[in-house]
Amino acid sequence: MSEQANQTNKKGTGCLAATMIGIPLIIAIALLVMWGVRINNRSVEKDEVVKKQWSHVETSYQRRYDLIDNLVNTVKGYADFEKSTLTEVIEARSKATGINMNTENFTEEEMAKFQEAQNQLSGSLSRLMMVVERYPDLKADKQFASLSEELKNTENEIKDARMAYNESVKDFNAYIRKFPRNMFAKILGFKPYNYFETSTPEAANPVKVNF
């Protein structure tokens, strides 16, 4: 066999070997990319669920703020009502509404501030309701009674919304933290969310507004 034939044979063998290696490699890369796209899409879907549930939490708290504002204005009509109690509620409401939370600043520190502000507002509101017990005329006021009932329902809505949010966070966090999805999640920029946790067991319960 001539030298030229040997070179041709070696070249052909080299091309065949390269093809045998290249095709499986291309297939493997394609499968990896497809898997990464699937993980990204699933992560996006679960991330949107978390954001949706958080919007329900925000809506419930906003309704609570509005009801408290109306409740305070109704109570102000009773001249002999304890001003210090009203002041405490007003200041706690102002502090709570001053903290803007969204899915872009869900750091542990910001969540802690938000939770603490809500806990303080719940505490001051509970004390307000306890003081109302000493004012039978105020308890009998139709507007106050209506607002109290709405507040009671809203407190339950808040509790349900927080639970739903935490469930969505649990699902999302578990999905992106499991191996090997955690590698793709890190590359794609997905990070775990913080749970909405209360600092005390009492703070997790709705404010009691029953008379």
pLDDT per residue as tens digits for the range 91-112: 999 999 998 887 776 788 888 8
Place of tokens 């505490």: 123
What backbone phi and psi angles, to 5 degrees, belong to 105? Answer: -125, 40
Task: Tell me whether residue 27 is in a domain.
Answer: no
Output b/e per residue, 80-95; b: 16+ Cβ within 10 A. Answer: ebbeebbebbeebbeb
- Asked if residue 195 lies in contact with residue 169, where contact means CB atoms within 8 angstroms, the answer is yes
Kindly state whether residue 87 falls inside one of the protein's structural domains: yes
Q: Are 139 and 132 in contact (CB under 8 A)?
A: yes
Determine the pLDDT at residue 24: 75
Distance CA 143, CA 169 (A): 38
CATH number at residue 86: 1.20.1440.20
For residue 16, name the pLDDT band (cuts at 50, 70, 90).
Answer: low
Residue 33 pLDDT level (bands cut at 50, 70, 90): confident
**Residue appearing with tokens 């004012």:** 135
**Is 3 within the bounds of a domain?**
no
* Residue 78 DSSP code: S
Gap between the Cα atoms of 98 and 145, Å rounded: 28
Determine, yes or no, domain membership for 22.
Answer: no
Q: Answer yes or no: is 5 within a domain.
A: no
Structure tokens at 203: 């703070």
8-state DSSP, 193: P
- The structural domain count of the chain equals 1
Kindly report the pTM of this predicted structure. Answer: 0.81
3-class DSSP state of 187: helix
- H-state helical runs in 133-196: 136-140, 142-177, 181-188
The pLDDT-based confidence of 160 (bands split at 50, 70, 90) is: very high
Structure tokens at 65: 């703020």
Region of poorest pLDDT, from 61-65, 139-143, 163-167: 139-143
Say whether 196 sits in a helix, a strand or coil: coil
Indicate whether 25 belongs to any domain: no
**pLDDT surpasses 50 at 211:** no
| CA pair distance 109, 203, nearest whole angstrom | 19
Per-residue pLDDT, 28: 75
pLDDT at 106: 78
Residue 102: which domain range?
A: 47-204
Q: 1 in a domain, yes or no?
A: no
Is residue 141 in a domain? yes
| pLDDT band for position 207 (cuts 50, 70, 90) | low
Which has the minimum average pLDDT: 65-69, 164-168, 193-197?
A: 193-197
